[in-house]
Structure 1
């Protein structure tokens, strides 16, 4: 335990934790948030977006949830009080946390912006999950991010749904595909169609489940009878399908992080973002990055070759059966 703060933790009555609350960033932050909750003995109030708070709520690590407002003064009003403010986000705008500090006057604040009483060191050369974990290891240097990297918790209903889907395809290997994210990080949909057709023609014991919010018609290919659209499901049901998969192929998005935490072997396609920082951290993986950062310059042939090699390594080639 850090000598400066070990004596204070037990006396903290209302600690508050802010974090980077996009779905993907929340998943990458989960090991840190779990560790902090344990250190604070479950007393922490979590501040985040409505969507991310559903993930936190399922974890059972929060004493209270506060929906974050765009206006930091409104967030402070909803929070009411705190004696420790933890800003678990290296990219937190300093004026946001600063306003909350000015309103609530916590005895201690820890985070990356310089206006915290204790500032953590920026290091964007390491994986985001490791940089964020500094907020936990600051209090206890013996903690390791891997010890808190279990899969996100899901409800019985979501798990039963995923199991029921899997049971319909006994004898087949299941690959979940997620092709949507922000425009600059997307691989062209036409490329995805061609890739899936090539992969399905090679691995005839494979089915593909497509998750996401929109409809991308990836079954519009010759082998499309083994492509099942699961698009439009809730986030938690999509996560459950990823968790039950044998492999995952996708872009830099939240579902790649879900695969990572469920230890599903994953292939991630990257353009402008750095896979060393935003890719898989815990599972077997293959990161394929477009030369120059433009994903439309990443050819189907290059990706297919890397996919074949990776799937062979994890046992797909050895389990080939001529089912279809």
Structure 2
């Protein structure tokens, strides 16, 4: 099927927020390929993120979240509802690089029954390409865009998520909390337990960095940090939030930081897109797949695959090296 013959393409993306950031270059590329006629089918909580991307339409779908044996989120779709959001679609694009449907057989039956052209990473689609988990996840997802339009390249689409002007002014104003000559380190410590580094090590890291840099402010980006402020040497130079933040506000805060350190999570990918000099801590997850793609970043890998075996001394050394190299 030729691109010019496709009038109403629908792109399917249902996943977590971090994966949504990774999907943005692909969505932007495909929207350009189809002259702004791309509709996106997605989770309702991702709608605010995609609303800023100039898409033809955003269709949200009903689903219940369940977890597989690898603790990955799976979605049990309301099949009649899914069928209704496909109305008018003449080309279905699935950019999820692993199965996201808990009721997969029903999902496959639906896709085959609606009789529209389709592309995705699995062999039940009319066109399919195999996912490549050996490469960075940004590039893995973007292979769909390149398959449809071979002239596309990821770098021109790898800019950060768009933030509304009032949110941008609010979040960048966070720097006014600190003196003008301060540098601001964003820190993220909270995600699924098996990907988290010990809170005590983060506390010691903050204290060591504060001792070395009197002009260092720290913004804790976590929705629910495990760091105990009672153990911080100078709590006045650390900001954190007790209430969950919206996607727009989280994005805006990352635009305000000078450096980032954190675990494998959505904020690492966001810092990557903002090209913030960064340190990422990796244990059981693959740093080649989930590490930095665009920024000057350093992945620190656990020697055992367990996060608790990443030594504090190494993280401190690499953070100091990064600050000294780029300040």
Note the 1:66-81 alignment, pairs <5 A: 66-69=60-63, 70-71=76-77, 73=79, 74-81=81-88
TM-score (norm 1): 0.90
For the structure 1 residues 256 and 283, does the alpha-carbon distance in structure 2 shift closer, same or farther, using more than 3 Å as the test?
A: same
Decide whether the 8 Å contact of 1:72 with 1:99 is kept in 2. no
How many angstroms apart in 2 are the aligned matches of 1:234 and 1:140?
A: 34
Decide whether the 8 Å contact of 2:172 with 2:255 is kept in 1. no
Q: CA deviation at 1:147?
A: 1.2
Note the 1:90-101 alignment, pairs <5 A: 90-92=97-99, 95=105, 97-101=107-111
Q: CA deviation at 1:217?
A: 4.2
For the structure 1 residues 248 and 131, does the alpha-carbon distance in structure 2 shift closer, same or farther, using more than 3 Å as the test?
A: same
How many angstroms apart in 1 are the aligned matches of 2:188 and 2:227?
A: 12
Q: Which residue of 2 aligns with 1:321?
A: none
Number of residues of Structure 1 aligned to a counterpart in Structure 2: 308
Structure 1 position 179 matched with structure 2 position 173: no
How many angstroms apart in 2 are the aligned matches of 1:145 and 1:212?
A: 29
Q: Which residue of 2 aligns with 1:163?
A: 172
Q: CA deviation at 1:67?
A: 2.5
Q: CA deviation at 1:171?
A: 1.4
Q: CA deviation at 1:215?
A: 4.2
Q: CA deviation at 1:36?
A: 0.5
Q: CA deviation at 1:78?
A: 3.1
Q: Which residue of 1 aligns with 2:282?
A: 270
Note the 1:1-324 alignment, pairs <5 A: 5=1, 8-69=2-63, 70-71=76-77, 73=79, 74-92=81-99, 95=105, 97-106=107-116, 108-169=117-178, 170-220=180-230, 221-232=232-243, 233-315=245-327
Indicate the SS of the match to 1:248. Answer: strand
Give CA-to-partner distance per residue, 1:263-290, whole Å, 9 cap, x none. Answer: 1111111111111110111011011111
Indicate the SS of the match to 1:162. Answer: helix
Q: CA deviation at 1:153?
A: 0.5
Q: CA deviation at 1:72?
A: 5.4
For the structure 1 residues 72 and 144, does the alpha-carbon distance in structure 2 shift closer, same or farther, using more than 3 Å as the test?
A: farther
Indicate the SS of the match to 1:17. Answer: strand
How many angstroms apart in 1 are the aligned matches of 2:106 and 2:292?
A: 30
How many angstroms apart in 1 are the aligned matches of 2:256 and 2:18?
A: 19
For the structure 1 residues 182 and 62, does the alpha-carbon distance in structure 2 shift closer, same or farther, using more than 3 Å as the test?
A: farther
Indicate the SS of the match to 2:169. Answer: helix
Q: CA deviation at 1:68?
A: 4.8
> Unmatched 5+ residue regions in structure 2?
64-75
> Unmatched 5+ residue regions in structure 1?
316-324
Give CA-to-partner distance per residue, 1:225-256, whole Å, 9 cap, x none. Answer: 21111352322212211111100111111011
Give CA-to-partner distance per residue, 1:131-166, whole Å, 9 cap, x none. Answer: 111111112212111111011101112101122211
TM-score (norm 2): 0.89
How many angstroms apart in 1 are the aligned matches of 2:119 and 2:202?
A: 43
Deviates more, 1:61-70 or 1:18-27: 61-70
How many angstroms apart in 2 are the aligned matches of 1:231 and 1:298?
A: 28
For the structure 1 residues 212 and 28, does the alpha-carbon distance in structure 2 shift closer, same or farther, using more than 3 Å as the test?
A: same
Indicate the SS of the match to 1:38. Answer: helix
How many angstroms apart in 1 are the aligned matches of 2:18 and 2:157?
A: 17
Give CA-to-partner distance per residue, 1:200-240, whole Å, 9 cap, x none. Answer: 11111110011122143453311222111135232221221
